[in-house]
């Protein structure tokens, strides 16, 4: 009886998880998706608690309590700019949980055959996700240097360690009595996680987070194989394919391959000075910028992570409101890698109360730039560089970009002419139709709003 209940609860949970992801497809149903996921989880946990094998409840409830005590503040106190760090951290927790269960299973049940194969995969993926995600967390939180850390023969060393771990795994499967192999194998998996992430630069973090998401899912799936639990297999496979798709999207958005992200150490090659010739740029004062914006009929704003660094989202919202009230059509063009994880920029703008139906992804809006009076670039750089289209020598050649240069007038709010994160000169800044608005994003937007104060305040 109880056994049937457990099985049915898992079946129901699996169905709810599928609906949860299905409803996630559009903002109007997304919150229902979260609810479905929560109910699914609750059903599965209650089902598990009545499982005949489970008899010690005390320990479990203490763990629930401790976990919730940490989880609740983590969810409510995290600023939205720090969501990538939180995500990396939760991949680490997920990997750790799976790996520890694999370890416990290995020592307690002495598995062999197919179950041992699953345990080996589970532990390998779990441990490497754990340390890899911790490294990603450190880089995003800037505890660790965000520049790639490289040394000679790095790829050779990394691959040898992975190879050694795999050989040990196979050996263990062939001869399960050799229990000494297990801790060595686990150690190599932990080490490989660290080494995999240290050569990856800050600009590649969106891909890496998505990839670690995928690994965390596959680890959970492996755990399902080891425990003969279909619910775990399904949930893990859903998570694994989600992370995989997102990392492919991120790779495409940067025109890079997986191998290039993982083994390419982007960002250190470009230290070589690009042509340092002093080309003239046109700059404009807040007064001039304000009058151009006021006379525009359509404006496309191109926000980048620099906007969030300058904490200027709310000022941007005020400008959006002011322009909209004057009848200006204001849209936002979001490049897939605009933030620090997939979709991050949308969350940052939504937090500032910018309506989501004004946010457009790259493919949707690229055709509209030609009709736009003004393209206003704030805190974005490489994703607007026309060199990506035609300059074969540019490191970003081939990367899909926003067609900012097609707009009638381009305005770029930027602190100085310093090239951005990847150290690549942006041709856009030297075009005749481009006006550079020098200054901090937040103070420049404040100045814009103040200057045209009365003009913006009264509706047409």
Partner 1 sequence: MQHQGFDEISLYVFLLAGFLGFELIKRVSPLLHTPLMSLTNAISAISVVGAIIIAGSGEANALSKTLGFIAVTAATINLVSGYLITDRMLKMFKKRDGEKR
CA 30 to CA 318: how far, in whole Å? Answer: 27
Q: Mapping DSSP to helix (H, G, I), strand (E, B) and coil, where does residue 449 land? A: helix
Place of tokens 């699914």: 40
**Interface with partner 1 includes 56 (CB under 8 A)?**
yes
Q: Are 250 and 213 in contact (CB under 8 A)?
A: no
Q: Are 419 and 425 in contact (CB under 8 A)?
A: yes
**Interface with partner 1 includes 339 (CB under 8 A)?**
yes
Which of the residues 342 through 381 are near partner 1 (CB under 8 A)? 342-344, 346-347, 350-351, 353, 355-359, 361
Helix (H) or strand (E) holding 22: helix 2-23
Indicate which single residue of 169, 202, 236, 304 sits in contact with partner 1 (rule: CB under 8 A): 236
CA 323 to CA 358: how far, in whole Å? Answer: 13
Indicate which single residue of 63, 150, 170, 457 sits in contact with partner 1 (rule: CB under 8 A): 63
**Could you tell me the smallest distance in angstroms from the CB atom of residue 203 to partner 1?**
18
Q: Are 251 and 240 in contact (CB under 8 A)?
A: no
Indicate which single residue of 2, 8, 34, 143 sits in contact with partner 1 (rule: CB under 8 A): 34
**Could you tell me the smallest distance in angstroms from the CB atom of residue 140 to partner 1?**
13
Place of tokens 């995989």: 244
CA 186 to CA 6: how far, in whole Å? Answer: 32
Q: What distances in angstroms separate CA 341 from CA 261, 325, 348, 385, 458, one per listed residue?
A: 15, 32, 11, 21, 39
Torsion from C-alpha of 160, 165, 169, 175, nearest 10 degrees: 80
Instruction: Count interface residues toward partner 1 (CB under 8 A).
Output: 120
Q: Tell me which stretch binds partner 1 (CB under 8 A): 258-266, 291-299, 335-343, 427-435.
A: 335-343
CA 69 to CA 383: how far, in whole Å? Answer: 41
Active-site residue 382, yes or no? Answer: yes
CA 102 to CA 119: how far, in whole Å? Answer: 5
**Could you tell me the smallest distance in angstroms from the CB atom of residue 332 to partner 1?**
11
Indicate which single residue of 237, 281, 422, 431 sits in contact with partner 1 (rule: CB under 8 A): 237
- Closer CB to partner 1, 145 or 355, in the complex: 355
- Closer CB to partner 1, 126 or 439, in the complex: 126
**Interface with partner 1 includes 455 (CB under 8 A)?**
no
**Could you tell me the smallest distance in angstroms from the CB atom of residue 377 to partner 1?**
20
CA 274 to chain centre: 29
**Interface with partner 1 includes 70 (CB under 8 A)?**
yes
**Could you tell me the smallest distance in angstroms from the CB atom of residue 345 to partner 1?**
9
**Interface with partner 1 includes 90 (CB under 8 A)?**
yes
**Interface with partner 1 includes 230 (CB under 8 A)?**
yes
Choosing from 204, 239, 382, 405, the catalytic residue is: 382
Which of the residues 136 through 165 are near partner 1 (CB under 8 A)? none
Q: Is 192 exposed, middle or buried (0-12, 13-18, 19+ CB in 10 A)?
A: buried
Q: Are 255 and 399 in contact (CB under 8 A)?
A: yes
Indicate which single residue of 11, 12, 115, 440 sits in contact with partner 1 (rule: CB under 8 A): 115
Indicate which single residue of 124, 188, 235, 424 sits in contact with partner 1 (rule: CB under 8 A): 235
Q: Compute φ and ψ for 84, nearest 5 degrees.
A: -60, -40
Which of the residues 200 through 229 are near partner 1 (CB under 8 A)? 209-210, 213, 216-217, 220-221, 223-225, 227-229
**Interface with partner 1 includes 324 (CB under 8 A)?**
yes
**Interface with partner 1 includes 280 (CB under 8 A)?**
no
CA 283 to CA 183: how far, in whole Å? Answer: 62
Indicate which single residue of 3, 38, 142, 175 sits in contact with partner 1 (rule: CB under 8 A): 38
Helix (H) or strand (E) holding 137: helix 113-140
**Interface with partner 1 includes 3 (CB under 8 A)?**
no
Catalytic center residues: 382
């Amino acid at each position: 009886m109880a056994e049937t209940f457990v099985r049915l609860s898992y079946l129901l949970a699996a169905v709810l998880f599928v609906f949860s992801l299905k409803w996630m497809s559009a903002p109007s149903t997304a919150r229902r998706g979260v609810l479905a996921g929560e109910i699914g989880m609750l059903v599965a946990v209650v089902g598990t608690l009545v499982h005949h094998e489970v008899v010690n409840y005390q320990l479990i409830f203490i763990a629930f309590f401790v976990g919730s005590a940490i989880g609740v503040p983590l969810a409510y106190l995290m600023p939205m700019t720090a969501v990538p760090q939180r995500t990396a951290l939760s991949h680490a927790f997920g990997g750790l949980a799976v790996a520890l269960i694999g370890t416990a299973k290995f020592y307690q049940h002495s598995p062999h055959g197919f179950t041992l194969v699953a345990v080996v995969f589970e532990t390998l993926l779990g441990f490497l996700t754990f340390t890899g995600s911790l490294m990603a967390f450190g880089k995003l939180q800037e505890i660790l240097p965000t520049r790639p850390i490289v040394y000679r023969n790095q790829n050779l060393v990394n691959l040898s360690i992975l190879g050694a771990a795999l050989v040990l795994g196979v050996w263990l499967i062939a001869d399960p009595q050799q229990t000494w192999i297990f801790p060595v194998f686990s150690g190599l998996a932990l080490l490989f996680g660290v080494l995999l992430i240290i050569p990856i630069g800050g600009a590649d973090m969106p891909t890496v987070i998505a990839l670690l998401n995928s690994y965390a899912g596959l680890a959970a799936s492996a755990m399902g194989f080891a425990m003969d639990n279909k619910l775990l297999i399904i949930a893990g496979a859903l998570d694994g394919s989600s992370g995989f798709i997102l990392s492919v999207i991120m790779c495409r958005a940067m025109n890079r391959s997986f191998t290039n992200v993982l083994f390419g150490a982007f960002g250190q090659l470009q230290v070589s000075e690009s042509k340092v010739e002093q080309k003239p740029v046109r700059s404009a004062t807040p007064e001039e910028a304000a009058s151009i914006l006021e006379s525009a009929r359509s404006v496309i704003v191109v926000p980048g992570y620099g906007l969030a660094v300058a904490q200027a989202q709310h000022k941007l919202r005020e400008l959006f409101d002011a322009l909209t009230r004057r009848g200006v059509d204001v849209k936002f063009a979001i490049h897939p890698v605009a933030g620090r994880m997939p979709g991050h920029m949308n969350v940052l703008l939504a937090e500032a109360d910018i309506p989501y139906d004004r946010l457009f992804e790259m493919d949707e809006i690229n055709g509209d730039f030609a009709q736009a009076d003004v393209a206003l670039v704030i805190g974005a750089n490489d994703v607007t560089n026309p060199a990506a289209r035609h300059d074969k020598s540019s490191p970003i050649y081939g990367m899909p970009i926003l067609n900012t240069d097609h707009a009638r007038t381009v305005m770029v709010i930027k602190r100085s002419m310093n090239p951005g994160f990847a150290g690549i000169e942006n041709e856009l800044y030297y075009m005749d139709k481009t006006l550079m608005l020098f200054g901090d994003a937040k103070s420049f937007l404040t100045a814009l709003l103040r200057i045209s104060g009365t003009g913006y305040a009264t509706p047409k």
